[in-house]
Chain A
Amino acid sequence: MTKKEALYNYIIQTADNNLILGQRLSELCGHGPELEVDIGLTNIALDLIGHARSLYQYAAEIQNLGKDEDQLAFLRARHEYFNVLLVEQPNEDFAYTIARQFFFSVFNYLFYSELQNSNDSQLAAIAEKSLKEVAYHIRYSSEWMIRLGDGTDVSHKKMQVAVDDLWKYTAELYTMSEVDQLMLEEGIGIDLNKIKALYLAKVEEVMEEATLTIPTNGWTQKGGKEGQHTEHLGHILTEMQWMQRTYPNMKW
């Protein structure tokens, strides 16, 4: 893999995380448990897809094949998406939506905090700009983790089930892939080993306040960063790409 290819993949991986999670949140718009939540989650979706857009624009520039942001976002094959498995997991119920958001937002915050120091000035600028919004995503999702975890017996059980089901996808967030390693060596990407302890500390702190338990069986699921996805991504793409695939080469 050349440096240019690795950089392209690195940007795409980051963009895909944001887009796919934003897409999942969009499914819920208008169907939230209360109006305030509808507005809150839609706001997060808006932030994430906004960040994704800046990243795809930059990826298109690096790729330099005359493609635009939409061709990158909508017209790749399933194995060319490099998002982590966590973000493609479905909205089983509100507890899953919140746990997924929380696990991702903590990572995303630490990731952007470090990426601000990248020697790639474009990535550093995107990271800096996104950080303030992601700080709000952590606050929002932590508060709901605690409210639901320490709310009623029913909400506690549902929250624990969601945590148990999604926990196996969290290790991928801080595991270095080949692309991550190459970018670290170039001074562009961040050292995920460095944020692992911070990630676990923040998650544990919130989980404790939420009276929730972290699964200890050590089982992890990975592959998204290499394009090996769960069954869910194909369905997400079918819907998301439908217009672009059915009506190609049109302006919208």
Chain B
Amino acid sequence: MDNSNLHNLEEKFQAKIDAEIKIEPKDWMPEKYRKTLIRQISQHAHSEVVGMLPEGNWLTRAPSLNRKLILLAKIQDEGGHGLYLYSAAETLGISRDELVDQLLTGKAKYSSIFNYPSINWADIGAIGWLVDGAAIMNQVMLTRTSYGPYARAMVRICKEESFHQRQGYELLLTMSQGTDEQKEMVQDAFNRWWWPSLMMFGPSDKESTHSAQSMKWKIKRKSNDELRQAFVDATVPQAEFLGLTVPDDQLKWNEERNHYDFGPIDWDEFWSVVKGNGPCNRERLKARQKAHDEGAWVREAATAYAEKRRKRKAEKESTQVA
């Protein structure tokens, strides 16, 4: 393809995006658009799957049958989200095996938030309220993203995530009306999850390398800082209702801006966790690797059995014909 042709295709592509027409798997798309989406969708899928680990950590110790059931259902939903998202990524011409391999080799990232430990029961509520809450801010925007399969997957995922967020908040509300020990657990969980939740929106707009192009292609529709601000504004009153103290002495309502001002994010910590040096990075990847390795014989058996069945069926059909 010569340059003028390519230029022409790119212009038509951008015109479609500008006209709010969804891009579908078989449509022409710039190679960089495709790569950006694979990176983003697979990162999202991996986050769902790795996110099952810190929550799964409490399944066997959940303090009531009702909470155990809610937690099982939530983790099951996350596995389901992982599946739709892997499928959405596959429409861009990459296989699940390749995607999983990218996760295990560290080539693909997942949300850094899951590199923090879940160490007290209130963490389960905090993850639902804050982590799912921050994810929703991002995902509501993504229901209108320009790539059709991704946007449609997001519609379904958002519904379930907002349910999880309410359940997480309700867990904390119950504990915050309980004993002093329970209230301490809630504050302790909040102190540990607050800042990492704000980091979930990614680097600030001036530092973000992928943002400008993604906005132009309408993969993203709001900037990291806009989403982060919306999250803080929505969450602070909810924290106050729980009787919690936000671990930020610079947090203050700003009448002029009509937003909360908040203190600086520790970007050194953020980058350090992204690069693999968070509290649980190694454990999370090791757990995924272990499940993958120990499951190899199971996957091989399933493939071998499917092949045997196919052959038997073919043999049966050929004898019937003869």
Contacts and interface: CB of A to CB of B under 8 A. Distances in A.
B60 A155 contact: no
B73 A46 contact: yes
B60 A27 contact: yes
A133 to B, nearest CB: 13
Interface string B50-83: 0011011001111111111100110110011011
Nearest to A156: B301
B30 interface: no
Given A33-B295, A154-B301, A242 B61 contact: yes
A158 B296 CA distance: 13
A234 to B, nearest CB: 14
Q: Sorted from nearest, which 6 A-B pairs have the closest CB atoms?
A: A33-B295, A151-B301, A155-B301, A243-B63, A30-B52, A33-B298
Contact of A244 (B63, B291, B294, B296): B63
Given A33-B296, A73-B65, 8 more contacts: A33-B299, A74-B63, A93-B294, A147-B301, A154-B301, A243-B63, A244-B63, A252-B171
A147 to B, nearest CB: 4
A33 B53 CA distance: 14
A227 interface: no
B64 A70 contact: yes
A203 B239 CA distance: 55
Q: Is the interface of B mostly helix, strand, loop or mixed?
A: helix
B49 A35 contact: yes
A42 B79 contact: yes
B64 A49 contact: no
Contacts of A147: 301-302, 305
A90 to B, nearest CB: 12
A243 B121 contact: yes
Interface of B: 49, 52-53, 55-56, 59-69, 72-73, 75-76, 79-80, 82-83, 86, 121, 171, 174-175, 177-179, 181-182, 287, 290-291, 294-302, 304-305, 308
25 contacts: A27-B60, A29-B59, A30-B49, A30-B52, A32-B295, A33-B295, A38-B52, A38-B79, A39-B80, A42-B72, A42-B75, A42-B79, A43-B76, A70-B63, A151-B302, A152-B300, A154-B297, A155-B304, A242-B61, A243-B63, A244-B63, A250-B179, A251-B174, A251-B178, A252-B171
A192 interface: no
Nearest to B125: A252
Contact of A31 (B181, B287, B296): B287
Contacts of B287: 30-31
A228 interface: no
A146 interface: yes
Interface of A: 19, 23, 26-27, 29-39, 42-43, 45-46, 49-50, 52-53, 56, 69-70, 73-74, 93-94, 146-148, 150-152, 154-155, 158, 239-240, 242-244, 247, 250-252
A23 B60 CA distance: 6
Which interface residue of B72, B76, B298 has the most chain A CB atoms within 10 A? B298
B72 A46 contact: yes
A50 B73 CA distance: 11
Contacts of A23: 60
Nearest to A151: B301
Contact of B52 (A29, A146, A150, A244): A29
A70 B254 CA distance: 46
A189 to B, nearest CB: 24
A104 to B, nearest CB: 18
Contacts of A155: 297-298, 300-301, 304
A240 B68 CA distance: 10
Given A42-B79, A93-B294, A151-B304, A49 B65 contact: yes
A97 B291 CA distance: 14
A151 B73 CA distance: 31
